[in-house]
Amino acid sequence: MKSSTELEINSVKHKVEADPSTSLLEVIRQELGLTGTKYGCGEGQCGACTVLLGGQPTRSCITTLGEAVGLPITTIEGLEKNGRLHPLQQAFLDKAALQCGYCVSGMIMSAAGLLASNPTPSEAQIVEHMSGNICRCGGYPRMVAAIKEAAEAMEGQK
């Protein structure tokens, strides 16, 4: 049954009228129009729908609206600040770490979660952390390089 809920996404509060069992991905894309977050498998297996929920990389396709209430959510649209791309977004562009691009929002959000908890990950740690994100175009080496470059850029900004 539909009910009224408040969600905080990208530091903005939104009123949502939906059943609490609705997937967070559906709310983000259909109700709020934030289509940077992608629908891939819908089963928690590919990572295309990854957002940060309470700072943790989370598969929004298998997370319900009810589970997300009260926790800040960040989507790919929330990463740039004042017209400047997040270092991860910039590094993915600079390293040409995308082909079709479908997986990239989820990749970047997973990587953002990694760098928040481990600002200087080793290559092995990056590969391990990103192993749940699938890229059908096989862009993994460039993505790992982009994440390393972003980590270095973010350390340099401190």
Q: What is the largest CA-CA distance in the chain?
A: 49
Q: Which of 73, 76, 91, 98 binds ligand FES (CB under 6 A)?
A: 98
Choices 5-13, 38-46, 65-73, 74-82; region in contact with ligand FES by CB under 6 A: 38-46
Which of these, 60, 57, 54, 56, lies nearest to 72 by C-alpha position?
54
Nearer to ligand FES, 17 or 48 (CB): 48
CA separation for the pair 80, 84 (Å, rounded): 5
Choose the stretch contacting ligand FES; rule: CB under 6 A; options: 6-14, 35-43, 63-71, 88-96.
35-43
Comparing CB distances to ligand FES, the nearer of 29 and 86 is: 29
- Exposure string over 116-151, b if 16+ CB within 10 A, otherwise e: eeeeebeeeebeebbeebbbeeebbebbbbbbbbbb
Dihedral (Cα; 151, 95, 72, 18), 10-degree rounding: -160
The span from the first CA to the last CA of the chain, in angstroms, equals 47
* Sites for ligand FES among residues 39-68 (CB under 6 A): 39-42, 44-49, 59, 61
Window 117 to 156, contacts with ligand FES (CB under 6 A) = 135-137, 139
CB of 49 to ligand FES, least distance (A): 3
| Stretch of 11-19, 85-93, 101-109, 111-119 contacting ligand FES, by CB under 6 A | 101-109
Q: Which is nearer to ligand FES, 62 or 120 (CB)?
A: 62
Q: Binders of ligand FES: how many residues, by CB under 6 A? A: 23
Classify the C-alpha dihedral 52-55-58-64 as positive or negative: negative
Strand partners, 51: 58
Could you list the residues that contact ligand FES (CB under 6 A)? 39-42, 44-49, 59, 61, 98-104, 135-137, 139
